[in-house]
Structure 1
Amino acid sequence: MDSRISALEKGRPADCSGRLDKEIRCYDLLDSLGIEYFRIDHPAAPSREACRGLDEVLGTQICKNLFLTNRKQTEFYLLMMPLDKTFCTSDVSHQVGSSRLSFASSDYMLEFLDITPGSVSILGLMNDKDHRVKLLVDQDILNSKFVGCHPCINTSSLRFHTEDLFGPVLKALDHDMTPVHLD
């Protein structure tokens, strides 16, 4: 194990000094809901390649999260999918009844989710007060026991029970979820 990756710990860090407000807000939300979660801290992991080794310590795979938009940039989507699946724009576009989807700009990501590239996470939906972003989740994620994601920053990763994330957490985020199936 990389010595720069912390051991798996339950809950928020004992000392939150030096952490960003958006990360602390994630812990506050989860704690207010009484959700059990586990955390690891690690060097910045802005890509799947950088996340290699984290999954083993976390005890689940960290989701691939894509921030997407339609051609007119009037509809925005956060797609959660397993690492081993490939994003096919025509397939997902057809399932959600949207024109061709492509990657949305980092400006929209920051404006709607208060997240920068490499830190995209379902927990960023807590910042989407105007409900501009629709959540899409691959069925394999929904069928898994645990879900892994970042707390709005890519230097920590969290593990939840899937039923907690898509139950009380999603309800508190005040967003709906649309299941999709990716090959």
Structure 2
Amino acid sequence: NPVLNKTDGDKLVFKDMRFTMKVQQESYNSLIAFSNGTFFVTNSNNQFRSLRFVGGNMNPKDFSVGTFTSSFSVRWADMPNCDSNSDATVDVKASIDSNGFIKCLISWYRTFYVPCFMTIEIIKGVLDKDGNIDKQELIHSKVFEIYGSYNAKRLALNPILRCDAQTTENTCKTESVLN
């Protein structure tokens, strides 16, 4: 059964997600979700990955996290996220499972007469000892358009295996067996 956690603040912290998410050579077991359309997964080495809806900013009462056996989902309801129309809001539900596969559902209930452009970013990096971002690298960025009357947009993001980025077969085999 899922555990639903609501917050009165701007973030929710799970020091133990109750499962380990493995992406490429890295493992993550903690989650920090923010009301601004961002969440981080972290590990004990201060490494992180984050998913961010650029420009998201909302009332924390409309933000919740559900934790499951091998996944979690973050929901931002009525999130303003459109530079061209400040009254336009979307509902966003992002879920991620233990292998790093991300699913997003963005839905809207009003008519968008002017297209609204949203950006989603995936970043990896390292936090300093105080929990601030020390180093970061943009892994993926996607801009998509929202327009028309009630509709929904689905996005699926699957991490590329580390070997796909390697240039030689020997390097790929060596990196795949490292702990």
TM over 0.5: no
Structure with more strand by fraction: 2
TM-score (norm 2): 0.26
Return the structure number with greater relative CO, CA threshold 8 A, min gap 6: 1
Structure number with greater Rg is 2
TM-score (norm 1): 0.25
Structure with more helix by fraction: 1
